[in-house]
Amino acid sequence: MKIFIAQQNYHIGNFDYNIKKIIDAIETAKAAGGELILFSEMSICGYPARDFVEFNDFIEQCNAAVEKIKAHADNIAVVIGGPAKNTEHKGKSLFNAAWFLYEKEVKAEIHKTLLPTYDVFDEYRYFEPAFEWNIIAFKGKKIAVTICEDIWNLGDNPLYRICPMDKMMSQQPDFMLNLSASPFDYTHDEDRKATIKANVLKYKIPLFYCNAVGSQTEIVFDGASLVFDKHANLCKALPMFEEALVEIDLNDDGTIDAPIIEYANRVPDKELNPATLEENLNISQVYDALILGIRDYFQKMGFKKAIIGSSGGIDSAVTLALACDALGAENVRAILMPSPYSTNHSVDDAIQLSTNLNNPYDIIKINDIFQSFLKTLDPLFNGLPFSLAEENIQSRSRGNILMAIANKFGYILLNTSNKSELATGYGTLYGDMAGGLGVLGDCYKLQVYALANYINRNKEIIPPHIISKAPSAELRPNQKDSDSLPDYAILDKLLYQYIEKRMGPAEIKALGFDATLVDKTLKMVNNNEYKRNQFCPIIRVSPKAFGVGRRVPIVGKYLN
Amino acid sequence: MKIFIAQQNYHIGNFDYNIKKIIDAIETAKAAGGELILFSEMSICGYPARDFVEFNDFIEQCNAAVEKIKAHADNIAVVIGGPAKNTEHKGKSLFNAAWFLYEKEVKAEIHKTLLPTYDVFDEYRYFEPAFEWNIIAFKGKKIAVTICEDIWNLGDNPLYRICPMDKMMSQQPDFMLNLSASPFDYTHDEDRKATIKANVLKYKIPLFYCNAVGSQTEIVFDGASLVFDKHANLCKALPMFEEALVEIDLNDDGTIDAPIIEYANRVPDKELNPATLEENLNISQVYDALILGIRDYFQKMGFKKAIIGSSGGIDSAVTLALACDALGAENVRAILMPSPYSTNHSVDDAIQLSTNLNNPYDIIKINDIFQSFLKTLDPLFNGLPFSLAEENIQSRSRGNILMAIANKFGYILLNTSNKSELATGYGTLYGDMAGGLGVLGDCYKLQVYALANYINRNKEIIPPHIISKAPSAELRPNQKDSDSLPDYAILDKLLYQYIEKRMGPAEIKALGFDATLVDKTLKMVNNNEYKRNQFCPIIRVSPKAFGVGRRVPIVGKYLN
């Protein structure tokens, strides 16, 4: 059987755009003699559509999309995904569904059983789990269709009490199709291959896995769709981070005539280890995910041009380099805003960076504005000593300048805060925390350095001095990050244990971290939830990013 | 049987604080001869603890709390709530549990079956649903214990496929206990009475319902715990928005010797009707909820003093009056920041307001700062005409001033944006959208006027001119809200249909709204999701507030 996999980048709620993309692939597959074409989860409306599915109007548009696509499913079977109404008068009103379209009819509607409701996922918010499981007969074969999480319930400690493939095996399916929208993180590619292979080893039939690609606000879907034959050989691996349409010929005996793709069954050292940072964190994948995250945010929002506050520091340098790669250097404007406390090398380094990148930049000194605030506030501040308030005035004046230029000329402000800063609250709300998209908000400081080195892998783009100098916010004379924060080499590892691994203070101390430092750091993290709550979306590259996937009570009194 | 209900205000994660409160109530009940005392859902850790429960350390602190409380449950049965470990190696690792403590032992552990996962609720993110149901034998009686949502699954179109009380009725319980953490909205009090009564009518045994009270960041729990006898008479109604500890004597036959409390079975007109706004929206309840929301935010965050930008407009006036009531006028500082485009009456009105409220205020003119921005940006703006950029510079300069004073003196900035503005994006990020807590963000403009009239019900607090004048942002000469927005009397009703009722464009137009206006308004709402995403927590008073309970994809292309 000639089967196509369409790994596509959808736009949530943009039905015309998605339908055209789906129909184009169907027609291409038909022209090549395809008998079945598999799309990803929620392909007609994009994933995650979130509360849009609570609108009956939205569901009706999904239904209309299925009707339009059905007309093209004549002599080819089309498997697409979307929300479907639950016609029983109990349970949630929708299913996360797949439709098997053939001969211009809906031959079957499949419902997802296992509804991920953790981290960035909220599926039980909207959907009723499936409670019946049937295979689909097609051209003398029996097909088991599952949706994403449905095949992720293996192992000794499964998250769900039932396993939909187990329910279908008594009907003796010949092969499995899985529609997915499974997001990237730097551990995901290996987990995915291992999980899909484990299903094939368990059920001993081929598996065609089609994953979505593209970034939706903060969540990056990496594609990397896979095909395993019945012997659990990897026969096809679609690219990461880009669209693809591929053909696979499945033999009647469940084998596939294609070279077996070898891959390492590497178990990454998931403890953040700066000595091996690049290897462990798949830095090239992280880089590609960030590029896709920036590019899709702009494309899907209808924007073209970015503006970035370029301080001469490592975070803004890496953000600028990423933005230039994603959007084109001519579309990225750097604004250098030295204050009285900025060092000369900051401006020089930032100029050198933009010279290397060949992107436009301007220098705007903030001292007049800063002095004007101080003068205006003088009757209230009344000679009190320089403090955090004055530091923040500078940072917020820069935010105001960047937003004013953005408003005037139609730029989108990219935020440059890293995960270590966001975790500890080392940033100014409405100042350096301003922006529409957080490019580095899921990268610890050490990872930002790794990205800088990766960016410089072929030639010098980021000036070496930006990488080598000690980090500083430059908001008071001779300020250094290390005045307020522990050394990043320690801090990042500590934060990783708390945030990614969800270890408590006793467990982290048992790893050898200084007890006082652990308590102080966890307190900083929890005290600053109110700041992160007002932060922009962060491109997610780790298994636990700040934002929709991490929900912490602001008024909570825990470890703080 | 002498039963106590303890309606208490917990602090999430503040175990010592919660445990003391619980033990104090137990001791008081014991001293009065109480045989059983009922607390609310998740009483030991506060609700919602959100991702804190993903920390094993947090769960261990919960277990330790149960141990401490157990020691006081000697000759009184104590029913408390918290997260419990799932000891089976499948399904989620926790239950939303209640413990029945007696004779210093855990006599029973009850698990919640129906896990609300909609609006502000995320319970299936953390908890496995119960799969067995047992009544508890105590002093010759059989008790059915349920947790919150467990008794909300009645009606023709239930949200869940099972009903835990149905499962327990074969064991012939004598009465029901329900531990709740059920938040306020302006329709909730009536829904609650109707639902609890419906359970008693169905199962024909008394029901003791204990609800949490107090605000947790944005979610206000209103208490209003209830007791119905077996004949479905309301025998006890605890107060709204405050703590209470009450005693009820339950007779052996399921009756209660107490005067029957009459209450209206009013079905409120849930369509937002400005002509009857006060009645429909329970404006006095909304007022009380906002006061509790402000007070608990400050108390639980450890803050005392608020700062507010006082413009002479209705939103800041109502916010200021609420803050003075919640925190004491001496703790609320108003900052008047006229710009060149402010009218004289704005300053006069704001001064009169603070004179009436007797709270401290300062006047800080922003023109020097504004001019300094214009001069600094002149080389880039290069004579381009005055536009939104210049309007936003003023708004953000005010934000910067307010935050600078807040940073210098330890104030928390209260935000004054209303729901109509937030819906349409009629506000400036980092400017008038700055602040730590959104006081009016769940009140449409018409409701803000209703609040103003309510505040003035006994004497003039808000000057009449603030209520009567046309709303304006005063960021350019002679600006009026009506230049950019439809009349609030139409806009608010349109927004209500879309936001609260989740009606699509065709349905709203069918109600008689102008088609062009509907399309334009829904587009504004969806285009501005990125702004709301960076807004502070909003005190929730409606069934659908912006914030954690409304999750919309920022890059979505739906109706925009």
* pLDDT digit string, tens, across residues A234-255: 999 999 999 999 999 999 999 9
Indicate the helix (H) or strand (E) that contains A382: none
Of B259, B183, B282, the residue nearest B223 (C-alpha):
B183
For residue range B166-206, what is the model confidence (pLDDT) as tens digits?
999 999 999 999 999 999 999 899 899 999 999 999 999 99
Ranking B122-136, B239-253, B272-286 by mean pLDDT, the lowest is B272-286
Mean pLDDT of chain A: 95
Query: Which residue on chain B is closest to A362 by alpha carbon?
Result: B380
Of B525, B522, B490, the residue nearest B504 (C-alpha):
B522
Q: Do B430 and A17 touch (CB under 8 A)?
A: no
Residue B264, CA distances (Å) to B190, B191, B193 in order? 9, 12, 10
Q: Do B552 and A52 touch (CB under 8 A)?
A: yes
Residues of B in contact with A400 (CB under 8 A): 373, 393, 396-397, 400, 430
Indicate the helix (H) or strand (E) that contains A102: strand A94-102
Does pLDDT of A281 surpass 90? Answer: no
Q: What is the pLDDT of residue B448?
A: 96
Q: Do A372 and B369 touch (CB under 8 A)?
A: yes
pLDDT interval class at B282 (50, 70, 90): confident
**Cβ atoms of residues A372 and A365 within 8 Å:** no
User: Three-state secondary structure along B40-51?
Assistant: CCCCCCCCCCHH
Q: What is the pLDDT of residue B271?
A: 52
> How many other C-beta atoms can be found within 10 angstroms of the C-beta atom of residue A277?
18
Note if A112 is an active site residue.
yes
Does pLDDT of B413 surpass 70? Answer: yes
Distance between B421 CA and the closest CA of chain A, angstroms: 18
A9, A85, A307, A554: best to mutate for the B interface, most B CBs within 10 A: A554
pLDDT interval class at A280 (50, 70, 90): low
Q: Do A159 and B92 touch (CB under 8 A)?
A: yes
Mean pLDDT of chain B: 95
Structure tokens at A308: 């970035």
Helices (H), B281-416: 283-301, 314-327, 344-357, 367-381, 388-409
Residues of B in contact with A50 (CB under 8 A): 551-553, 556
Does pLDDT of A546 surpass 80? Answer: yes
Distance between B160 CA and the closest CA of chain A, angstroms: 4
Does pLDDT of B480 surpass 80? Answer: yes
Listed in sequence order, the residues at least 6 apart from A278 whose beta carbon sits closer than 8 Å to its beta carbon are A450, A453, A454
Distance between A86 CA and the closest CA of chain B, angstroms: 11
For residue range A296-347, what is the model confidence (pLDDT) as tens digits?
999 999 999 999 999 999 999 999 999 999 999 999 999 999 988 888 899 9
Q: What is the pLDDT of residue A275?
A: 43
Residues of A in contact with B364 (CB under 8 A): 376-377, 380
Structure tokens at B66: 């149960």
Does pLDDT of A60 surpass 60? Answer: yes
- Range A438-451 average pLDDT: 96
For residue range A159-193, what is the model confidence (pLDDT) as tens digits?
999 999 999 999 999 999 999 999 999 989 989 99
Q: What is the pLDDT of residue B484?
A: 85
**Cβ atoms of residues A138 and A110 within 8 Å:** no
Does pLDDT of A266 surpass 90? Answer: no
- Range A367-377 average pLDDT: 98
User: Which residue shows structure tokens 């969800």?
Assistant: A502
Percent residues over pLDDT 70 in chain B: 97
Q: Do B373 and A548 touch (CB under 8 A)?
A: no
Provide the phi-psi class of B145: left if phi over 0, else alpha when psi is between -120 and 50, else beta: beta
A476, A558, A560: best to mutate for the B interface, most B CBs within 10 A: A558
Residues of A in contact with B408 (CB under 8 A): 380-381, 384, 387, 389
- Helices B283-301 and B445-455 cross at an angle (nearest 10°) of 90
Distance between A489 CA and the closest CA of chain B, angstroms: 24
For residue range B296-314, what is the model confidence (pLDDT) as tens digits?
999 999 999 999 999 999 9
Does pLDDT of B477 surpass 70? Answer: yes
> How many other C-beta atoms can be found within 10 angstroms of the C-beta atom of residue B140?
8
Residues of B in contact with A297 (CB under 8 A): 555
Looking at this predicted complex, what is its ipTM?
A: 0.96
Residue B249, CA distances (Å) to A461, B33, B202 in order? 79, 11, 22
Residues of B in contact with A377 (CB under 8 A): 364, 401, 404-405
Does pLDDT of A395 surpass 80? Answer: yes
Candidates B14, B373, B436; nearest CB to A404? B373
For residue range A6-33, what is the model confidence (pLDDT) as tens digits?
999 999 999 999 999 999 999 999 999 9
